[in-house]
Chain A
Amino acid sequence: MNYAPWAVTFGVWLAAGLTIAIYSFLYKDNPFYKMAEHIYIGVSTGYLVVIAWNDALRPLLVGPLRHPGTPNDILAIIPGILGLMMFTRYFKKLAWMSRISLAFLIGWGAGTAAPAIIQAYLIRHTGTTITPLFNPAYFSWNPMSIIFGLLVVGFFSALVYFVQTDQYTDWDRGKRRFLVGGIILSFILFFIFAVYYPQKSVDALTEAFYALVILVGVISVLFYFFYSIEHKKSLKGIAKTGVIYLMVFFGTSFGYTVMARLSLAIGRMRFIVDDWLKTTTPAQWGIALPIIAVISILLVWQERKSRAARQD
């Protein structure tokens, strides 16, 4: 949509003023920030009400009921009544009626969502985690890789068992080294025979390693949330591995969140510099400054008045 130049200029000044007012909160709470906050909430709510009427209620409910094009249009009365029944929550005696609408909503949601979500998330993602193990592009199963794969599982199970039964701590250093060394060596040999030997590529090694990292992560994180067994000794180690994975995820999410918030700050700064400061003229400042002064005086006066009222 194209706007008149005066409307663009007014919009830019208004947006710049509100941006500065919102950022002024970084210094401390003040009347300018409060004004901008109230405007933001008021405008958003007003906008949402208009959109809900224009794009939802009028075309989907009121329109079909007033001028039904097909016999089916009259059926819009059913969701209309269900929607109105939601408001009965505000009347104690009629509040039970809102449960019918909620039951319909939850029943429809669960019935539609359950199979789709199980397919899209549970089955698909479990499959993606496990299938690399049986995909020749990742791991090739030949007699040698099967032997060393079984050895990894065997040595690891033995380590879990002996730690769990307190036997590991009583062992001498040689025995411990044999078990841990056995895991590491059979793991390396498994990778050589399952990945490197058939594919002769370092990239394939990396890809297969990543697949294994994801598999270990899924199992250990799931185990961390499995409370039917006490997380003690070696089981504590598995749960701790899960915690490390979770921490890595939270760290990544936090990093991305910081990046996102800074992107918003960059966008606002760019707007202030490029769209406002670089385009304003002395004449505009001449009109704007008295208006800003009047708004400031009114806001400070209002703030002092309400503070005095609170103290009384």
Chain B
Amino acid sequence: MLNLKIKTIEKLLSIDRRIIFLLVAAVILIPIIKPLNLPVQVTPEVLGVYDAIDKLPEGSKILIAFDYEPASTPEMDPMAKALLRHCFKKKLRVVGISWLEQGRGNADNVLSFITNERAEKGHPLEYGVDYAYMGFKPGKNAMILKLGRDFKGACKTDYRGNDVYDMPILEGIETLGDFPYLACLHDDSMINSWITYGHEVVGIKIGSLCTAIMAPGIYANLNAGQLTGIVGGLKGGSEYEHLLGYRGLATFGMDSQTLIHFLIVGFILIGNFAYLAKERMIRKERLR
């Protein structure tokens, strides 16, 4: 009897990983097919970014760094869209820039999506006046320092090849420090360069909107006052959407995320209990 129990537990412990993959896939699919509409609670970190943008006066210019690769779009696009919706709702003028070669197209996609959406709703935005995109600018640290001295001289042309000196949106922008706020959408350590050179050298206020992987590493910067807030991963994106009063892709994604977390915690508990029970039974067997 005891041997049978041990064998059953051993079977449970050596369950085929593909069954686990199937279960995870099923748990992801359920809320996609039928949303659960779970509640969202806003954290102070997300509120820090939201408030900083919300308090900017109408017509202010905001710089958005699109420093994420296509592989991170499921996590980053919902928060990028929420951020742009917030900016345009507040009638802020958005200037985009990217330090990543592969991130260059992401910004164009998201900006096109939101500007088309605004146009469909009867609030068209004019390129070069309400928003502009500088495209990919190589150089990272050196480029940030250059932007801190001469923004237009560093950019020269935008994504579409226009001369930045002729763009109305950049009137009054001489250096990076002339932007009251920088929202950095990033999936790598680019935020460190922005903090080191953008915040400490030039003095621009920064908010981080990042993938969940990046979030724990930059909490120290938040505590040090180098960031106004952190919007981390799909969870942060869902909070931002909640603050804007709509349920978007991040919020719907959190339904699946919550269920999967329950599943994973369940697996961890089953695995540990089964392991402990097996050890106990083996000890009992030996004592016999």
Contact = CB atoms under 8 A, between A and B. Distances in A.
A116 B75 contact: no
B136 A51 contact: yes
Interface in B103-151: 104, 108-109, 112, 116, 135-138, 141-142, 145
Given A55-B101, A55-B135, A252-B216, A266 B234 contact: yes
B33 interface: yes
Interface string A112-135: 110011011100110110000000
Contacts of B199: 120
Interface in A11-58: 26-27, 44, 47-48, 51-52, 55-56
Contact of A263 (B29, B32, B212): B212
Interface in B18-38: 18, 21, 24-25, 28-29, 32-33
A263 B253 contact: yes
B248 to A, nearest CB: 12
Of the four ranges (under 10, 10 to 19, 20 to 34, 35 or more), the interface on chain B belongs to 35 or more
Nearest to A218: B220
Interface in A212-265: 214, 249, 252-253, 256-260, 262-265
A200 to B, nearest CB: 23
Contacts of A124: 200, 224, 226
Given A26-B21, A256-B212, A263 B233 contact: yes
B197 interface: yes
Interface stretch (B3-11, B48-56, B256-264): B256-264
Per DSSP, chain B at the interface is: helix
A174 interface: no
Nearest to B215: A256
Interface in B69-98: 71-75
Interface in B202-221: 211-213, 215-217, 220
B279 to A, nearest CB: 23
Given A1-B108, A116-B200, A269-B29, A263 B136 contact: no
Interface in A180-219: 214
Given A253-B216, A262-B257, A270-B249, A117 B196 contact: yes
Nearest to B21: A26
A262 B157 contact: no
Interface residues of A, number: 47
Nearest to B224: A128
B235 interface: yes
A142 interface: no
Contacts, number: 132
B74 to A, nearest CB: 2
Contacts of B260: 262
Interface of A is mostly: helix
B201 A116 contact: yes
B86 to A, nearest CB: 21
Most buried by B among A56, A262, A263, A269: A263
A128 B256 CA distance: 38
Contact of B18 (A27, A109, A252, A262): A27
A55 B215 contact: no
Nearest to A250: B216
Contacts of B201: 116
A259 to B, nearest CB: 4
B104 A55 contact: yes
Contacts of A214: 223
A254 B28 CA distance: 20
B229 interface: no
Nearest to B200: A120
A48 B264 CA distance: 37
A269 B32 contact: yes
A1 B157 CA distance: 18
B215 A266 contact: no
Task: Select the residue from B104, B137, B216 with max chain A CB neighbours within 10 A.
Answer: B216
B104 A51 contact: yes
Contacts of A112: 141-142, 145
A268 B226 CA distance: 34
Contacts of B142: 108, 112
Contacts of A113: 141, 196
A187 B236 CA distance: 37
Given A56-B138, A116-B197, 12 more contacts: A51-B101, A59-B157, A109-B141, A113-B141, A116-B200, A120-B226, A128-B224, A263-B211, A263-B253, A264-B72, A264-B74, A266-B234
Q: Give the 8 A-B CB pairs with smallest separation, nearest first.
A: A267-B74, A260-B212, A51-B101, A128-B224, A263-B234, A120-B200, A56-B138, A120-B196
